[in-house]
Amino acid sequence: PLFKQAMVRELITNTVADFKSHYAELKADQSLSRVFVLFMAGTDPDTGDSWCPDCRNSEPHIEAAVKGLGDDVAFLAVDVGDRPGWKSPDCPFRHLDEAKVTGVPTLFEMKSGRELNGDDCQDGAKVAAFFA
């Protein structure tokens, strides 16, 4: 190919410590124009799919939008764990200083603080507009 495909920087984490570390690094990285964070449900070991139907339904829309992002953008996917862990009021992902996460899926843009949640993440047009 004549032109190198620009690739978004994608990271995945499933612990609060890793999230905080990645978040701080991405926030400090001056080469990034935008940073997006997706809080999503974990994988059901019995099915291999997310235990959250909203997350399953939003996945193709989010994946399509992320593929179109350039190399000056980062995308951090955060697996909040299994259903019982997430549903607990003590779930550490519900008590972050960096983002107010009350449900999954939640998309968050670091610089603007904009969010897209739940049903809106299942709307391809809304997801595309969020990343535009």
Indicate which CATH number applies to the domain containing 18.
3.40.30.10
Structural domain includes residue 4: no
Question: Which domain, by its residues, includes 41?
Answer: 9-131
How does pLDDT run across 13-33, given as a tens digit for each residue? 889 999 999 999 999 999 999
Q: Hey, how many other C-beta atoms are within 10 angstroms of the C-beta on 106?
A: 23
Total domain count, the chain:
1
Residue 26 lies in a domain: yes
Task: Please report whether residue 2 resides in a domain.
Answer: no
Residue at 96 is within a domain: yes
Q: What pLDDT is recorded for position 1?
A: 45
pLDDT of the residue at 7: 66
Residues 15-44 as b/e (b if ≥16 CB within 10 A, e otherwise) read ebeebeebbeebeeeeebebbbbbbbbbbe
What is the per-residue pLDDT for 4?
A: 46
Is residue 69 classed as helix, strand or coil in its secondary structure?
Answer: coil
| Confidence at residue 6, expressed as pLDDT on a 0 to 100 scale | 52
Q: What is the CA radius of gyration of the chain?
A: 15
Decide if 62 is inside a domain. yes
Task: Kindly list the catalytic residues.
Answer: 52, 55
- Please list the ranges in the chain whose pLDDT falls under 50: 1, 3-5
Residue 3 lies in a domain: no
Cα separation of 52 and 41, whole Å? 6
